[in-house]
Amino acid sequence: MHDKVIVITGSSQGIGLGLAREFLRQECKVVVNSRREEKIEAIVNDLAKNDESKNVFGFAADVTDFNALSNLWKKAIENFGKVDIWINNAGINHATLPCQELSTEAIEQVIKTNVLGAIYGCNVAIAGMQKQGFGFIYNMEGMGSNGMVIEGQSIYSTSKAALTHYTKSIIKEQKSSTVKVGYIRPGMVMTDLLLKENISEYQDYERFKKITNILADQVETVAPYIVGEVLKNQKHGARINWLTTRKTLWRFLIAPFNNRDLFTEEKR
């Protein structure tokens, strides 16, 4: 797998950074991305410390800017010669509030980043991969992708539901193409995206905390599984699903006998 080149948008923190670290451990070449140049420089320096072959490259690009994403593709090709896997991971959340209490700026940024950013990413990657004759694209699903409605998360969950519908569409569009498309569903992961600044003020915080301790996992737990499945997958339309229905039911079954406290772990 050491010859694989992976591009991950929004990979300066959270699950994106976790995936980048794990792909590097699997001897892949990785292109990390963030909107801010200084953040990318710091992440690349950090990743390169543990990567003797220096197989990591970073490029700052706002996923809501099509030209910026086109440049991300070009830089990946300039550095590594190809792109085997492109992961549309970049995503942002909003405060846990009723929709009418969110600012128009917050609403626009979530929709632009989570939906438009993935669409632009797919368009760039599809064009490049059709030209090179191969490649996989994965879109990162999230809360709302399965149709679940969460109070206070209307815009974020809508963006993820829309992304899932869009992914289904391009899977059909690319069925006769050399480009393969799939989904990544990481489940609940303990990242800044999940643990928003105001979450402790949410009226159902205690219920949220209880459910999170049952279903959520640390990035370090989820990333190796996702990377392993992505690297061995050859199927168009595949869904890489960490938190399966069977696993969810089992966790609820053993919850009364389990003293998990992921919130305490996060503080350590």
Joined together, the tokens standing for residue 253 give: 């079954």
Check whether 198 has a pLDDT greater than 50: no
Tens digits of per-residue pLDDT, 104-157? 999 999 999 999 999 999 999 999 999 999 999 999 998 878 877 777 789 999
* DSSP three-state, residue 114: helix
Strand partners, 86: 7, 137
Tens digits of per-residue pLDDT, 214-227? 888 889 999 999 99
Residues with catalytic roles: 156
The answer to whether the beta carbons of residues 7 and 87 sit under 8 Å apart is: yes
Joined together, the tokens standing for residue 212 give: 């999170």
Lowest mean pLDDT among 81-95, 130-144, 165-179, 247-261: 247-261
Tell me phi and psi for residue 6, to 5 degrees.
-120, 130
Distance CA 150, CA 143 (A): 8
* pLDDT band per the 50, 70, 90 thresholds, residue 266: low
Distance CA 43, CA 38 (A): 9
* DSSP three-state, residue 197: coil
- Mean pLDDT, rounded, of the chain: 89
In the block, which residue shows the tokens 């300066």?
Answer: 12
8-state DSSP, 257:
G
Lowest mean pLDDT among 44-58, 82-96, 117-131, 185-199: 185-199
Yes or no: domain 5-193+219-243 corresponds to CATH 3.40.50.720? yes
**pLDDT value for 225:** 96
Check whether 197 has a pLDDT greater than 60: no
Joined together, the tokens standing for residue 26 give: 């699997």
* pLDDT band per the 50, 70, 90 thresholds, residue 265: low
Tens digits of per-residue pLDDT, 203-214? 566 777 777 788
Please provide the DSSP assignment of 228-254 as one string.
HHHHH---TT-EEESS-HHHHHHHHHH
Q: Kindly give, in sequence order, each residue whose CB lies less than 8 Å from that of residue 205, ignoring residues fewer than 6 positions away.
A: 199
Tell which wins on pLDDT, 102 or 259. Answer: 102
Joined together, the tokens standing for residue 138 give: 């994965």
Joined together, the tokens standing for residue 247 give: 């696993």
Lowest mean pLDDT among 25-39, 115-129, 135-149, 162-176: 135-149
Tens digits of per-residue pLDDT, 73-87? 999 999 999 999 999
